[in-house]
């Protein structure tokens, strides 16, 4: 299984060299960061620059995970190879996870880009007073992100058009996940819903990593990200298994 | 006259095909509860940023800007859908047919105009009051035709980028996304155009959406009609310029493709 995972990672790296679309995040993160930073600067709120930098990164990493998990199903379908992949004697989920993981991990480099953009374009120096914790949180976030993407990859096989999900699961989660705006500013009735979205825990902790005061309840918050990620992995695994059984029975995996 | 009639017929068929694509992508349920909900969340996110800044004026600026931007964001999908034509292997047929491919492509993605206008209108008329932005109802209603004008000018800008995307198929989504975010950053959606350095402002002024959005903002603030119409005329002028550029982009694509054999089946 581990060999298959690494093989799919290597395969995706080969694909990335020929398909710049998969690394859209590298280009879009700085642009989104510029949009958010401009809003903050125009309002005279330089103190909110870290929100802009982290928000643009989390939004794009989420969008990339969605894009990749949807796009690889769509492209397998378009090329007529999805049935072959599903029929192969390997676990489909592991194959997909390897491909999503590498793109997700690479897209996190956008954070460094955003920090550079904030400095170059707006002259904002984003301090990282808790670098170790920031890296640890990013690692946990990547784990949960890939877990969540595994649910989507399953749904995309079932859906008539993966693009509906691809296009629709972005902004609702940016709001619920507190990517740019802390969930404390959401209406009270929505805040409990946010708590079951791993992004809300991740974005809060990441913002605290950029604040001068030491973050509180670190262990609990990291655990929450990991637990929600693990739950997502479990749901993704069960869902994909069920969906694959169904499309094999109904013969509805490909377009034909 | 015959040429005009033929082009109108081609446009009609392209429109029919575009709407069939729309029906194949969305049911009314998935459009309303998935797509429209996502769009409304997009505007809500920016309204929340305004709230975070602690300024009702910012909330209004961002809600109006992003409600109108929605139409541009959706219309920019023309880049992806135009590129699908090459993926489907139909580009050589379009090039060899007696009609002009530009006319086909001009009608082939109009579903996004309908979609974008619907989403933008719902956002401006229904979501804005929910987000605490009270716009004068009459002005908000009459802003809808202005948004329609914006949608057309953005459409031809997107069509130009799509012409470029047809040459770099592997970056087709990237081209559309860059175009869309570029418009979001530079055309006064999030911050006034005057926020940017002067050379950037020059670029903003030749992009679609800039003058149209300005016209909508002025109109909602009760500016006199001649002022609003002057701004809208600028939007029309920019849109017309992009239509001409798009026409030549496709003509060059077809001519160079015929010359070097890159109008291939498959893509």
pLDDT digits (tens, 9 = 90+) for B141-196: 999 999 999 999 999 999 999 998 888 877 788 888 899 999 999 999 999 999 99
Parse chain B into domains and list their residue ranges.
2-260
Tell whether the model's pLDDT for residue A24 goes beyond 90.
Answer: no
Q: Is B111 on the interface with A (CB under 8 A)?
A: no
Q: CA-to-CA distance for A147 and A153, rounded, in angstroms?
A: 10
What's the confidence (pLDDT) of residue B66?
97
Tell whether the model's pLDDT for residue B265 goes beyond 60.
Answer: no
Instruction: Check CB contact under 8 Å for B182 and A175.
Output: no
Instruction: Check CB contact under 8 Å for B172 and A21.
Output: yes
Of B41, B184, B191, the CB nearest to A42: B191
Q: What angle do CA B180, B186, B189 make, to 5 degrees?
A: 80
Tell whether the model's pLDDT for residue A256 goes beyond 70.
Answer: no
What's the confidence (pLDDT) of residue A226?
97
* Chain B residues touching A167 at Cβ < 8 A: 34-35, 38
Confidence of residue A159 (pLDDT cuts 50, 70, 90): low
Parse chain A into domains and list their residue ranges.
2-250
Q: For tokens 């929340």, what's the residue? A: B48
Residue B88, C-beta contacts closer than 8 angstroms, at least 6 positions apart:
none
* Chain A residues touching B30 at Cβ < 8 A: 164, 168
pLDDT digits (tens, 9 = 90+) for B8-58: 999 999 999 999 988 988 889 889 998 999 999 999 999 999 999 999 999
In the predicted model, what is the mean pLDDT of residues A77-97? 81
Tell whether the model's pLDDT for residue B266 goes beyond 50.
Answer: no
Report pTM.
0.90
Please count the CA atoms within 13 angstroms of the CA of A82 that sit on its side-chain side. 25
B71 Cα distance to chain centroid: 6
What's the confidence (pLDDT) of residue B95?
82
Of the two residues B7 and A80, the one the predictor is more confident about is B7
Looking at chain B, which residue has its C-alpha nearest residue A162? B25
pLDDT digits (tens, 9 = 90+) for B53-78: 999 999 999 999 999 999 999 999 99
Tell whether the model's pLDDT for residue B267 goes beyond 50.
Answer: no
pLDDT digits (tens, 9 = 90+) for A219-254: 999 999 999 999 999 998 888 888 878 877 887 776
Segments in chain B forming alpha helices (H) = 2-25, 28-30, 37-53, 56-75, 78-87, 91-96, 101-108, 111-122, 128-130, 137-165, 172-186, 198-205, 210-220, 225-260
A205 Cα distance to chain centroid: 16
Q: How far is A205 from chain B (nearest CA, A)?
A: 18
* Chain A residues touching B35 at Cβ < 8 A: 164, 167-168
* Chain B residues touching A168 at Cβ < 8 A: 30, 34-35, 37-38
Lowest mean pLDDT across A26-30, A105-109, A155-159, A188-192:
A155-159
pLDDT digits (tens, 9 = 90+) for B188-222: 999 999 999 999 999 999 999 999 999 999 999 99
Residues A134 and A209: beta-carbon distance below 8 Å: yes
The secondary structure of chain A, three-state, reads: CHHHHHHHHHHHHHHHHHCHHHHHHHHHHHHHHHHHHHHHHHCCCHHHHHHHHHHHHHHHHHHHHHHHHHHHHHHHHHCCCHHHHHHCCCCHHHHHHHHHHHHHHHHCCHHHHHHHHHHHHHCCCCCCCCHHHHHHHHHHHHHHHHHHHHHHHHHHHHCCCHHHHHHHCCHHHHHHCCCCCCHHHCCHHHHHHHCCCHHHHHHHHHHHHCCCCCCCCHHHHHHHHHHHHHHHHHHHHHHHHHHHHHHHHHCCCCCC
Q: Is A123 left (phi over 0), alpha (psi -120 to 50) or beta?
A: left
Tell whether the model's pLDDT for residue B261 goes beyond 90.
Answer: no
What's the confidence (pLDDT) of residue A161?
61
What's the confidence (pLDDT) of residue A247?
76
Of B24, B38, B172, the CB nearest to A171: B38
Q: Is B97 on the interface with A (CB under 8 A)?
A: no
Of the two residues B90 and A147, the one the predictor is more confident about is A147
Instruction: Check CB contact under 8 Å for B52 and A21.
Output: no
Which site among B29, B48, B70 would you substitute to test the A interface, given the most A Cβ atoms closer than 10 Å to its Cβ? B48
Joined tokens for residue B58 = 């910012």
């Amino acid at each position: 299984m581990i060999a298959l995972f690494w093989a799919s990672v290597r395969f995706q790296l080969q694909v990335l060299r020929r398909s710049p679309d998969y690394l859209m995040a590298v280009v879009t993160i700085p642009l989104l960061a510029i949009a958010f930073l401009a809003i903050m600067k125009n309002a005279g709120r330089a103190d909110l620059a870290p929100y802009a930098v982290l928000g643009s990164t989390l939004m794009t990493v989420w969008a990339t995970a969605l894009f990749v998990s949807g796009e690889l199903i769509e492209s397998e379908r378009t090329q007529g190879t999805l049935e072959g992949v599903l029929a192969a004697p390997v676990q489909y989920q592991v194959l997909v996870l390897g491909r999503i993981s590498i793109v997700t991990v690479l897209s996190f480099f956008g954070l460094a880009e955003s920090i550079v953009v904030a400095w170059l374009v707006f002259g904002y120096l984003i301090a990282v007073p808790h670098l170790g914790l920031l890296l640890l949180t990013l690692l946990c976030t990547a784990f949960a992100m890939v877990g969540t993407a595994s649910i989507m990859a399953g749904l995309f096989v079932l859906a008539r058009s993966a693009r509906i999900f691809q296009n629709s699961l972005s902004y609702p989660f940016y709001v619920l996940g507190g990517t740019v705006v802390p969930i404390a500013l959401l209406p009270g009735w929505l805040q409990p819903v946010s708590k079951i979205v791993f992004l809300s825990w991740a974005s809060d902790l990441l913002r605290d990593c950029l604040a001068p005061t030491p973050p509180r309840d670190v262990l609990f918050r990291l655990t929450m990200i990991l637990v929600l990620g693990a739950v997502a992995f479990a749901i993704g695994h069960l869902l994909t298994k069920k969906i694959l059984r169904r499309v094999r029975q109904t013969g509805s995996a490909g377009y034909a | 006259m015959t040429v005009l009639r033929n082009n109108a017929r081609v446009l009609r068929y392209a429109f029919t095909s575009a709407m069939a694509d729309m029906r194949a992508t969305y049911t009314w349920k998935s459009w309303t509860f998935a797509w429209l909900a996502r769009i409304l969340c997009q505007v809500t996110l920016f309204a929340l940023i305004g709230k975070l800044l602690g300024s009702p004026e910012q909330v209004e600026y961002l809600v109006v800007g992003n409600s109108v931007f929605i139409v541009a964001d959706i219309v920019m999908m023309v880049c992806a859908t135009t590129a699908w034509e090459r993926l489907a292997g139909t580009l050589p047929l379009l090039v060899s047919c007696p009609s002009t491919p530009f006319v086909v492509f001009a009608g082939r993605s109009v579903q996004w105009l309908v979609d974008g206008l619907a989403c933008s209108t719902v956002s401006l008329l229904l979501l804005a009051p929910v987000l605490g932005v009270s716009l004068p109802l009459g002005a908000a209603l009459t802003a809808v035709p202005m948004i329609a004008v914006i949608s057309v000018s953005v459409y031809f800008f997107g069509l130009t980028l799509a012409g470029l995307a047809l040459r770099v198929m592997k970056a087709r989504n990237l081209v559309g996304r860059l175009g869309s975010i570029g418009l979001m950053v530079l055309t006064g959606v999030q911050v006034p155009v005057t926020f940017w350095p002067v050379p950037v402002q020059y670029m903003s002024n030749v992009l679609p959406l800039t003058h149209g959005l300005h016209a909508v903002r002025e109109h909602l603030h009760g500016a006199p009609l001649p002022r609003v119409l002057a701004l809208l005329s600028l939007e029309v002028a920019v849109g017309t310029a992009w239509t001409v550029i798009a026409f030549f982009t496709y003509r060059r694509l077809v001519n160079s493709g015929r010359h070097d054999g890159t109008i291939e089946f498959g893509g």
